Every structure is written in C-alpha cells, then in structure tokens.
Amino acid sequence: MTTTPITEDSVNETETGNSSRKPRPGWGRIAAWAVMIIIMIATLFPFYWMLRTALSSNNALYSGASSWLPVDANLGGFARVFGMQTGEEAIAAGGAGQPVNFWRYLLNSVIVATLVTVGQVFFSACAAYAFSRLKWPGRNTVYGLFLAGLMVPTIFTFLPNFVLIKELGLIDTVFGIALPTMLMTPFAVFFLRQFFMNIPLELEEAALLDGSGKLGNFFRLILPMASAPIATISLLTYIGAWNDYFWPLMVSYSDNSRVLTVGLGVFRSQAPQMGPDWSGLMAATLVAALPMLILFALSAKRIVNSIGFSGIK
C-alpha cells in the first residue's frame, strides 16, 4: 500500500479550474442544498445535545426529556466531573459519589499527546531526511522495510507491545503509553520524505557551498521549508494520540496514567444505582472533546485541506 490518506494542497490545485463554472439556479440546486443542510444538522446535532445535557440537571432530565433547551440549567455536571462536589451532593444530584479526577486525566492526555507528537514528528523527520537527502549504502532496503511496516495494523502490535512495556516496567505510566509511537510511525516517515524530496536540491547545494553542513541544512533549511507539512502531521498526530483509547486502556490501571478517553470509560462504568449520571457524563464527554474541537476551530483549513491522496498516478 503506497497510498496515503493525506497530502497537502491536493485539493487546492484544481480549485481555480472549477470556480469558473456558473452556479445554475433551479429546483435541483435548492433540493441539493436542502439535503446538504440536513446532513450538516445531523452532523452537529449530537454535539448540541451533549452541551444541552451537560448544562441540565439530572433530576430534571426525567420530566424534560423532550425539551430542546437545557432543563433546570446549572453547572453541577461539570462540578462533579472536576470533583468539586462532595460525595453527598453528587449523589443527591444523581451522580456516583465516587471522586473522579478529570484534571489528572486532562493533564495525562496533554502529556501523552505532546510526547507522542513531538517525538514522533521530530524523529520521523530526521529519518525522512536520511532517506531522502543523504546517500548511504542500504538506504533503499531500510526504507522499503519501513514501508512494509505500513502493512501491519497497529492493533496487531498491541498485545506484544503490552508485554514489552510490562517487561520494561513502564505499565501504568504516561511514558509507557507514549513510548511505542514516540519514535516513529512508518506513515510519518513516508509522509515527510515525500515533502523533503520536493525541496529543490539546488537550495541545499547552495547552502553547502556557503559552508553549511548537512546537519545544519536539515535544521536551517529543510525543517523551515517543510514547516507546512510538519504542522499538518503534528496536528493529525496530536488529535490521533488524544483520541486513542485501546492502547492506553491496556497500559493504564490507575489515575496515575489514565488519559481522558480511559477516564471517560471509568466514569461511565461508575453508574449510580438510579441510572447513569447523564448530565455528569455529558459534561465529562464535553471536557474530553472540547480541546480537540478548539484545536480544530483554530486550524480547520489546514486539517481539511490535508485530507486527500498522494501516491496515486
């Protein structure tokens, strides 16, 4: 599989070519917009419903199940999520009464996603440079081996990697969660190599003539010139690491290393006797989702345009 789900600018290229087409008004176009708007509403409604429920109080949800607005609006759900209610208060409001420490989960998520992103992107960039701009015997063989790694679904490596992390004594640590993807992924190497290949060789040669070394070139020339794809893959890696559930679930046993996704699962399983604490659960869900939604709001254009194909003739 030499294709990748991502390239920069693949959408932009043809944008101008198509904009000359005149919009043809008519019923067909109106109907098409109607369908599109319905799809957009269906896409966004669950987010609204999450917010609406998080701001409601549990006891009022029973009588106001079909109200479109928050019922008996308050921030109690958020208070339970951040452990700011006492056990009795929480139980009275329909919560589980057990303390959950979302601040800790939030911190763990930030640490894991940051370690994975910084490490993976930097080390993959180093390797991509060695694969694209340095000449050394065996280069293509080693690169081919890396590419073959794309064929192995990460999920297959989870069990043996768990055994390895256990042997390294890193179970239940944030470092243990981050380590397997901190050094490289075949995709990141492949992705960055493609961009490094496209940087004109002459620029590098000119820098070499000016007395710059190849290592210096990497930091002063290649990395800055590839800053756009590096930003793109960093964002995608961060979002992916933040949303990961299966692997952290294996490695975490306690609040020491639980990330938000795993913490959410714990929060959900602590359902109080009367039924789930929906208001608290939706507040927790919102807390887990919001950082990525904000990140997306800030970088939507880059992320949206990064989705496309490369490697297709």
Sign of CA dihedral 157, 158, 163, 166: positive
CB-nearer residue toward another protein: 186 or 229: 186
The binder of another protein chosen from 88, 135, 224, 273 (CB under 8 A): 135
Find the binding residues for another protein in span 255-284 (CB under 8 A).
Answer: 261, 264-265, 268, 275-276, 278, 281-282
The binder of another protein chosen from 65, 88, 141, 169 (CB under 8 A): 65
Find the binding residues for another protein in span 7-26 (CB under 8 A).
Answer: 10-11, 13-15, 17-19, 21
List the x/- string, 68-107, binding to another protein by CB under 8 A: ----------------------------------------
Rounded to a whole number of angstroms, the minimum distance from the CB of residue 26 to another protein is: 11
List of residues 6+ apart from 214 with CB closer than 8 A? 133, 134, 208
- Asked if 175 touches another protein (CB under 8 A), the answer is no
Stretch that binds another protein, among 4-12, 90-98, 99-107, 221-229 (CB under 8 A): 4-12
CB-nearer residue toward another protein: 45 or 103: 45
- Checking 229-234 for CB contacts under 8 A at 24+ apart, the result is 229/8, 229/191, 229/192, 229/195, 230/121, 230/125, 230/192, 231/302, 232/6, 232/8, 232/302, 232/303, 232/306, 233/6, 233/121, 233/188, 233/191, 233/192, 234/117, 234/121
The binder of another protein chosen from 59, 123, 225, 255 (CB under 8 A): 123
CB-nearer residue toward another protein: 86 or 139: 139
How far is the C-alpha of 6 from the C-alpha of 263, rounded, in Å? 30
- Asked if 226 touches another protein (CB under 8 A), the answer is no
- Asked if 141 touches another protein (CB under 8 A), the answer is no
- Checking 198-201 for CB contacts under 8 A at 24+ apart, the result is 199/225, 199/226
Per the structure block, which two tokens stand in for 25? 């008004």
Rounded to a whole number of angstroms, the minimum distance from the CB of residue 184 to another protein is: 4
- Asked if 221 touches another protein (CB under 8 A), the answer is no
How far is the C-alpha of 3 from the C-alpha of 278, rounded, in Å? 42
Specify whether the CB–CB gap between 117 and 237 falls below 8 A: yes
How far is the C-alpha of 9 from the C-alpha of 59, rounded, in Å? 50
- Asked if 113 touches another protein (CB under 8 A), the answer is no
- Asked if 253 touches another protein (CB under 8 A), the answer is no
| C-alpha R_g of the chain | 24
The binder of another protein chosen from 57, 244, 280, 283 (CB under 8 A): 244
Q: How far is CA 184 from CA 55, 90, 100, 237, in A?
A: 41, 44, 33, 11
Specify whether the CB–CB gap between 226 and 203 falls below 8 A: no
Specify whether the CB–CB gap between 248 and 181 falls below 8 A: no
List the x/- string, 178-207, binding to another protein by CB under 8 A: -xxxxxx-x--x-----------x--xx--
Rounded to a whole number of angstroms, the minimum distance from the CB of residue 6 to another protein is: 9
CB-nearer residue toward another protein: 17 or 88: 17
- Asked if 170 touches another protein (CB under 8 A), the answer is no
The binder of another protein chosen from 25, 46, 169, 224 (CB under 8 A): 46
How far is the C-alpha of 177 from the C-alpha of 162, rounded, in Å? 9
CB-nearer residue toward another protein: 86 or 144: 144
Question: Identity (one letter) of the amino acid at 246?
Answer: F
Stretch that binds another protein, among 40-48, 73-81, 82-90, 225-233 (CB under 8 A): 40-48
